[in-house]
Amino acid sequence: MPHVIVKLYPGRSEQQKQALAKALTQAVMHTLNSAEDSVSVGIEDVAANDWTAKVYRPDIVDKAATIYKKPGYEPQ
């Protein structure tokens, strides 16, 4: 039952979010040999001024052992 959560800056259209969810679903199905019905995708908009406190620290720094693709940036 893979569940993927994507957090990003606001501004993407619903069409872009739907396309991303579809692409992620296909990637999970292919890579993990999962059925489509077992995959779920959530997309959360996070304001730029909230990124460090709501994403970078709790999801990246505090969970460093779970990060398989590290970001190439440091928050300001």
The catalytically annotated residue of 2, 58, 71, 75 is 2
Give the C-alpha separation, 59 to 7, whole Å: 10
Radius of gyration (Cα) for the chain, nearest Å?
14
| Beta strand spans in 1-76 (E) | 3-8, 40-45
2 is catalytic: yes
**Which sequence positions are flagged as catalytic?**
2
